[in-house]
Structure formats: C-alpha cells, structure tokens
Amino acid sequence: MTTTDKWMMFTAMTDGWIASSDEVWAFARDMVSAHFIDTAEGLLDYFEKPWHWEREHAWWVANDRPDSWAVWDLGIDSGFEVNE
C-alpha cells in the first residue's frame, strides 16, 4: 500500500477538517508562513499526525485563518484558547 493509498484511506475514515485536503494544506501553509512550523521535522510531524493539531486548528478558524506571526504569537500566549 502506497503512502497516497494510506492517506486516502485515512481521510475516507475521518470526519471534520482533516478529511479536506484543501483545509489541511491551507492550515499547513499558514503555520509555515507564520513561522509556527519552521523545521522540516515539524512539517513532517504535522502531515503524519494532523489530528494532533485540533486545538490550534480551532483557534486558527476562530481567528479568521491568520498567516501572520504577530497573530499566531497571540495564540501562543493564550494557549490557543478559542473564544467563539
């Protein structure tokens, strides 16, 4: 089974934002743009286990999907609490 096959199987079994490859990629792009993920190891960890990022993703959505370090810094300071 290829990695792509495993990913497709995983996403088929998953509900929520992880099931959308567009959402997974957009979140990754914004975290990299904001230097929240700034190493190859961090990026690989994200793509291997995106479900570990639920809290950060909820914060990102609640804050209009920012890609600025200044905004992400506020998230870090708040512990990524979501105030909806």
Q: Tens digits of per-residue pLDDT, 39-63?
A: 999 999 999 888 888 889 999 999 8
Please name the residue ranges forming H helices in 2-82: 3-13, 21-33, 40-48, 54-62, 69-78
Q: Which has the closest alpha carbon to 37: 21, 20, 24?
A: 24
pLDDT in tens, 21-34: 899 999 999 999 98
Residue 70 in any domain: the answer is yes
Residue 64 in any domain: the answer is yes
Task: Report the predicted TM-score, pTM, of the whole model to 2 decimal places.
Answer: 0.73
At residue 74, the pLDDT reads 81
Residue 7 in any domain: the answer is no
Task: Count the domains in the chain.
Answer: 1
> Do residues 17 and 24 make contact, with C-beta atoms less than 8 angstroms apart?
yes
Domain around 56: 19-78
Residue 19 has pLDDT above 90, yes or no: no
Residue 12 in any domain: the answer is no
Residue 1 in any domain: the answer is no
At residue 18, the pLDDT reads 82
Average pLDDT over residues 5-32: 78
